[in-house]
A and B are shown apart, each in its own frame.
Chain A
Amino acid sequence: MANGAPLLEVSDLNVAYGAVRAVRGVSLSVAEGEVVSLLGANGAGKSSLLNAIMRLAPKTGGRVTFDGRDITDMDPERIAAAGLTIVFEGRRVFPKLSVSENLLLGALAGRRRGANGRDQGRIYEMFPALADRQSQLAGTLSGGEQQMLAIGRALMSKPKMVLMDEPSLGLAPKIVDEVFERIERLKAEGMTMLIVEQNVAMGLSVADRGLVLSSGQVVQQGTAAELAASDSLTDAYVGGS
């Protein structure tokens, strides 16, 4: 579905936690409407990369542009207001806020794009399980429901692009299918996404393209079909470092 100039462009990005270099010179770009899958073993640096794009991990070099603007040194709240948001690894919903309070906060970043707290209906229609639990505390939801809420909360701001970090983490296969069915639907609606997945088959099934990260570097990339057919892909997981 790629059309036109890249919406997100990352060049030569480095992330280090003290002496630990988690991301080493990664460059990638995602075009508007495109879905890109980021694959790699535990500790490969996938989360560090996504968090660094949002300026929530310590960048030690590189440049990030989004929608024609340099966001390298922008505050996370400004990046969110520009239309780029993240669904964190481990969901990170606000456990002691209700479902509807979580969604209400989600709308704050999107005020300039016309999102408001009353758009909750759209999310409840997409995730009916949440509709029945509007006043329930998010911390008491099941893992699957929390993932739905995390995605719904991100969508409340009417973002132009969503970074998704392991949406299937810790979920039963049936729930994973459900989550990916929603991701498919978002893709069909034209949402641009960069999705981190441990589950290679799942990750590639929704993606146009994929990148494989190993020890903080891109070691392989190609269309989803190419990667799915590749033998060396498993090496990146088993080999790790």
Chain B
Amino acid sequence: MDIFLQQLVNGLSLGGTYALLAIGLAIIYSIMGLINFAHGDLMTLTGYAMIGVVALGLPFPVAILCGLVAATLAAMAMERIAFRPLRGASGASMLLSSLAVSTVLHIAFQVLISARPQALPFPPMFSGAMDLGFARIGNIQAISIVVAVLALIVVNAILYRLPLGIAIRAAAQDFDATRVMGVQANRLISLAFGLSGVLAGIAGVLWIAQRGSVDPALGFNPVIKAFIAVTLGGLGSLQGAVLGGLFLGLLEVFLRAYLPEDTLPYREAVALTLVVFVLLFRPQGFMGKSEAVR
């Protein structure tokens, strides 16, 4: 039972991180039909920014803050430079553009920083575990869950309370009609990218806290998982993205815990097969409508 509980916590913490990434992807996709491949590189950038700030001798919380600011600004800059000129273009052109951005960032990280992992030690509060009597919970797992939940609550408040947040939801349903409401398209999309950027930054901090180092390809694996989560949840559905992320995180952790030893190398394949199964029976994902969202 206690093992199960520990795995549940691990799964939720991984799934929460996927959910943060997935909701950022879903926000952008739902507004402009762009699948942003460079989303994962925002996590990587967060890590490098933190390493730089720590190297300057500044306190760790300042490093986290700077990492998040870097991810937010980078996301907004990405939109300005690479996606705004393509607005209204086909999904394929925008996807290619985001692949190009990702490649450029990747190479820049390799050339300007290093192809090898750079250590980013986190303060002691992130390591260790709490003994709750019935189970031992890793600090980082607990922090991940709490941070993910708080971030999702804040995102929810923005999207459901602030007029510009409500406009983001409206734009996902009818972009032109939203503009007629007097909402400036550029401001709205910029805000959406900023929001997705800060969420990718938070996911980056949590991801790196588990690993203790940053390398140029850091964002690749988690962002692929986030794509799968978004697809599972129903392309463009925000609640779906969160559900998809949690589902995928739990699935991964429980397969790792309960698959027989000699099949462990195949656990990703098993997980993806299960995802394919879900999509076979529910092609529109958990929350998707059977017809297109837009």
Task: Closest B residue to A156 by CB, please name it.
Answer: B181
Instruction: Give chain A interface residues in 17-62, CB to chain B under 8 Å.
Output: 54, 56
Stretch of B113-121, B162-170, B226-234 with 4 or more beta carbons under 8 angstroms from chain A: B162-170
Verify A81–B177 contact, CB threshold 8 A. no
Chain A positions 87-101 with a Cβ under 8 Å from a chain B Cβ: 88, 92, 94-97, 101
- Bound-state CA distance A153–B181 (Å) is 8
Interface string of A73-108 (1 = CB under 8 A from B): 001110011000110100010111100010011101
Contact B173 A94 (CB under 8 A): yes
**Contact partner of B183 among A77, A88, A117, CB < 8 A?**
A77
User: For the complex, what is the distance from the CA of A108 to the CA of B176, rounded to whole Å?
Assistant: 14
Report whether A94 and B177 are in contact in the complex, using a CB–CB cutoff of 8 Å.
Answer: yes
Q: With an 8 A cutoff between CB atoms, is A110 at the interface?
A: yes
Q: CA separation between A105 and B182, bound complex, in Å?
A: 8
Residues of B close to A80: CB separation below 8 A: 179-182
In the complex, are the beta carbons of B182 and A109 less than 8 A apart?
A: yes
**Does A157 have its Cβ within 8 Å of any Cβ on chain B?**
yes
Interface residues of B in 46-78 (CB under 8 A from A): none
A182, CB-defined interface residue at 8 Å: no
* A94 contact set on B, CB distance < 8 A: 169-170, 173-174, 177-178
Q: Across the interface, which residues of B come within 8 angstroms of A69, CB to CB?
A: none
Interface size class of A (residues with CB under 8 A): 20 to 34
- Contact between A105 and B181, CB atoms less than 8 A apart: yes
A111 CB within 8 Å of chain B: yes
Chain B 174-200 interface mask (CB, 8 Å, partner A; 1/0): 101111111111000000000000000
Are the CB atoms of B184 and A105 closer together than 8 Å?
no
Interface of B is mostly: helix
Asked whether B173 lies within 8 Å of A96 as measured between CB atoms, the reply is: yes
Which residues in A have their C-beta under 8 angstroms from that of B180? 54, 56, 76-77, 80, 85-86, 88, 109
Q: Which of A77, A97, A101, A110 contacts B179 (CB 8 A)?
A: A77
Q: Which of B167, B179, B183, B185 has the most CB of A within 10 A?
A: B179
B173 lies within 8 A of A95 (CB): yes
> How close is A72's CB to chain B, nearest CB, in angstroms?
16
Chain A nearest CB: distance from B157 CB in Å?
14
**Contacts A96-B169, A117-B163 given; does A108 touch B177 at CB 8 Å:** no
List of A residues within 8 angstroms of B178 by Cβ = 94, 105
Q: Residue-by-residue, is B144-175 near A (CB-CB < 8 Å gives 1, otherwise 0)?
A: 00000000000000000001001101100110
Given A77, A85, A88, A117, which contacts B184 in the complex, CB threshold below 8 Å?
Answer: A77
Cβ–Cβ contact A104 & B184, under 8 A: no
Chain A residue contacts of B163, Cβ below 8 A: 104-105, 108, 117
Q: Is the Cβ of B167 less than 8 Å from the Cβ of A105? A: yes
Q: Is the CB of B182 within 8 A of A77?
A: yes
Contact of B167 among A76, A85, A88, A108 (CB under 8 A): A108
Residues of chain A within 8 A of B169, CB atoms compared: 94, 96-97
7 A-B residue pairs with Cβ-Cβ distance under 8 Å, sorted by A, are: A54-B180, A75-B184, A76-B180, A86-B180, A95-B173, A105-B181, A108-B163
Which A residues contact B (CB, under 8 angstroms)? 54, 56, 75-77, 80-81, 85-86, 88, 92, 94-97, 101, 104-106, 108-111, 117, 153, 157
The 5 closest A-B pairs by CB, nearest first: A109-B182, A76-B179, A105-B181, A80-B182, A108-B182
Having A77-B181, A80-B180, A86-B180, one finds 5 other A-B pairs with CB under 8 Å, namely A76-B180, A77-B182, A80-B179, A88-B177, A157-B182
